[in-house]
Amino acid sequence: MSSSSQVTESWISSFCGLLGHEYFAEVSEDFIEDDFNLTGLQSQVPMYKEALEMILDVEPEDDEDEEDEEEEEEEDDEVLGDERPAGYRRTSDRRHLRIASDLSVIEGSAELLYGLIHQRYITSRPGIQQMTEKYELQHFGTCPRVNCNSCKVLPVGLNDIPGQETVKLFCPSCLDVYTPPNSRFQSVDGAFFGTTFPSLFFMTFTDLDIGGVRPASTGAADALAAVHSAAAPDGKSRNNPTPPNLITSINGVAPHNLAPGLGPGNIYEPRIYGFRVSERARSGPRMKWLRMRPTDVTELDETRRYWEEHDGEDGTRPDDDDMNMVDVAEGKGVRRKIIGRRRRANGSAATGAGGGGGVSPMDTNGVAAAG
Amino acid sequence: MDDFNSDTDSDYTSYWRDWFISSRGNEYFCEIDEEYLTDRFNLTGLNTEVQYYQYALDLVTDVFDLDCDDEMREQIEKSARHLYGLVHARYIVTTRGLAKMLEKFKKSDFGKCPRVMCDSQPLLPMGQSDVANTTPVKLYCARCEDLYNPKSSRHAVIDGAYFGTSFHNILFQVYPAMSPAKSQRRYEPRVFGFKVHAAAALGRWQTDERERMKERLKGARVETGFEAEDEELEDEEEDEEMEGDGFEGAAVAQ
């Protein structure tokens, strides 16, 4: 459209190339040109039209052009042409003078507008795809936490309103947020990435192995975890009808992707000369809960636990498939049988309806369809 | 100063420790007292850990005056740094050493916790092993009680054994007042304003664990050490939920 964008670098790519803007994806012009994607931004950004023109590298036009789209296109062509009417040139010069004085204001507006569009773009299909490539190339860095084993992180905002917080990094391995290590990111607004993006990203790409690089020496920790789980009194696992290795999804997440950096073996144990510091010491450990994760992930299936605790109290118990937030691969039949047996023992009236729900992630809708 | 200069190379012989702790990448180290270094008892067993032990010790204590080639000097220099590190691990758990490290901690010389909810809590250096050449130095945050990798690669190559596994815990035993109030605030992953179920379920489970711990501590009559404002925060949340019922409803409920 505009010849200038072919000659020089486009505004978008030069913006994304700036120091400290390494986290930004280049929003496609198609996305920006679709007015639907810009809904509501006009009221948030001063000098909206000029800012939008700057982002798209469109030559500035007369104000009247707003009224008539067709005219705008025609004049656009005229701007590019060598021959221009004398009158037009004069107004255009005047405009350029005004723009020169306002340029810094418009530049600021353009950055704000681009950031807000960017927040929406990275949750769209092409945008999230673009961010995947940046994620794979480790453009956002890794988690600083030792037990996360350099797990790749994603940028996140703690607020969707601009001007509140700077950009942070979300680690899927410990489900926590961190300040970027380099201070140059402390001038980047978190709202330009938004609160939704990282969580939506990992909900979209469920096949990603987010665990980070496990050092070879974790064998001991794993063995310890295994001992812990074996030694755990039956009280906790008694209610669990499914062997943990058969579970493919808990609350909509594969167990190996549910906070892999947390749980036994990944919690720091303070020691003095080899002796653990007691919880009861005045400066003893108090924050282990933050890095805990049940050895048996089915403990997190709150719906099923609720109904097991309240079994037989009333007749509103949902059927199997609605109740279970756990998806099981091959052993589904086995699990059904066990549940059925236990339920019969409890004298519940509910029937094991279900009806071939399979392992669709849509299974995870909980109690909505109570019988 | 001239007293310590030998006729070889002034760079190596004038106040080696000053040079060492002020050189780039060694910001985590504090200066070990001359008296501590010269007391043989404090160095027990290190002669088997360090090559050219005697020369290295001479270099560290600024009495090195051996004529040797550059290669040898480099070896001794390397040994001196190793020796300093190993003595450092012992020194920083002494009363004087703790005090020096506390000053550095107060100045945030070891950096600040990268975790957002820790509000720039100063960190302390630590090792995951007391044996040399096992793991590089890590940073301990007393607020979230977790370990982090140093931001800078020049710190990531320092041996963790130069700080040891006990120092940071001893510091808070000796100066319990320096232990920061723990925060219950946490990050809740959200998508379009809705909590992400898997993360939220894990969060609720962790909250239960925390409350169980608080009960245990209450039973043992030990202070939990959590911020006072946390309780208020929870009350506020409840208030917000109540506001939906309108003013009258809220007033009646209270």
Burial B163-187 (b: 16+ CB within 10 A, else e): bbbbbbbbbbbeeeeebbebbbebb
Among A158, A286, A325, beta carbon nearest to B225 = A286
Q: Which two tokens stand for residue A305?
A: 């636990």
B250 part of a folded domain: no
Is residue B166 located within the same domain as residue B196? no
pLDDT-based confidence at residue B1 (cuts at 50, 70, 90): very low
Is residue B20 located within the same domain as residue B89? yes
| pLDDT less than 70: residues of chain A | 1-7, 60-101, 212-245, 311-371
pLDDT at residue A118, as a whole number: 97
Model pLDDT for residues A98-136, shown as the tens digit of each residue:
556 578 899 999 999 999 999 999 999 999 999 999 999
Which residues in chain B have their CB less than 8 angstroms from residue A158's CB? Answer: 116, 187
| Backbone torsions φ then ψ of B182, nearest 5 degrees | -80, 150
pLDDT at residue A289, as a whole number: 96
Q: What is the CATH number of domain A139-204?
A: 2.20.25.20
Question: Containing domain of residue B200, as a range?
Answer: 190-220
Q: Which two tokens stand for residue A345?
A: 């023992």
Contact at 8 Å (CB) between A152 and A142? yes
Helix/strand/coil percentages in chain A, nearest 5: 50, 5, 45
pLDDT at residue A238, as a whole number: 42
CA angle centred on B120, ends A213 and B189, rounded to 5°: 55
- Strand A154-156 and strand A168-171: the pairing is antiparallel
Residue B252 has pLDDT above 70, yes or no: no
Single-letter residue type at A188? V
Is residue B103 located within the same domain as residue B170? yes
| Domain total in chain B | 2
pLDDT at residue A315, as a whole number: 57
Is residue B165 located within the same domain as residue B215? no
Contact at 8 Å (CB) between A23 and A186? no
Is residue B213 located within the same domain as residue B102? no
B74 part of a folded domain: yes
Question: What are the extents of the domains in chain A?
Answer: 139-204, 262-311
Q: How close does chain B come to A60, measured CA to CA in Å?
A: 35
CB contact under 8 A, B209 and A289: yes
Find which of A171, A290, A299 to mutate to test the B interface (most B CBs within 10 Å of its CB): A290
Model pLDDT for residues B203-232, shown as the tens digit of each residue:
999 999 999 999 999 999 988 888 875 555
pLDDT at residue A2, as a whole number: 45
B247 part of a folded domain: no
Burial A160-172 (b: 16+ CB within 10 A, else e): bebeebbbbbbbb
C-alpha span between B254 and B251 (Å, rounded): 5
Instruction: Assign residue B116 the CATH number of its domain.
Output: 2.20.25.20
Instruction: Report the candidate in B224, B254, B220, B217 with the shortest Cα–Cα distance to residue B239.
Output: B254
Residue B72 has pLDDT above 60, yes or no: yes
Indicate whether this model's pTM tops 0.80: no
- Alpha-helix runs per DSSP H in A20-85: 29-33, 48-55, 69-80
Give the three-class secondary structure for B242: helix
B135 part of a folded domain: yes
Contact at 8 Å (CB) between A230 and A264? no
Single-letter residue type at A160? D
Q: State which residue of chain B sits closest to A203, comparing Cα positions.
A: B196
CB contact under 8 A, A181 and B210: no
ipTM: 0.84
Residue B90 has pLDDT above 70, yes or no: yes
pLDDT at residue A168, as a whole number: 97
CB contact under 8 A, A277 and B169: yes
Instruction: Give Dmax (Cα) for chain A.
Output: 94
Helix A197-204 × helix A125-136 angle, to 10°: 90
Mean pLDDT of B248-253: 36
CB contact under 8 A, A251 and B216: no
Is residue B115 located within the same domain as residue B207? no
Is residue B173 located within the same domain as residue B131? yes
DSSP-assigned states of every residue in B69-135: -HHHHHHHHHHHHHHHHHHHHHHTTSHHHHHHHHHHHHTTTT-B--BGGGTTPBEEEE-S-SSTTSS
Is residue B213 located within the same domain as residue B164? no
CB contact under 8 A, B169 and A294: no
pLDDT-based confidence at residue B121 (cuts at 50, 70, 90): very high
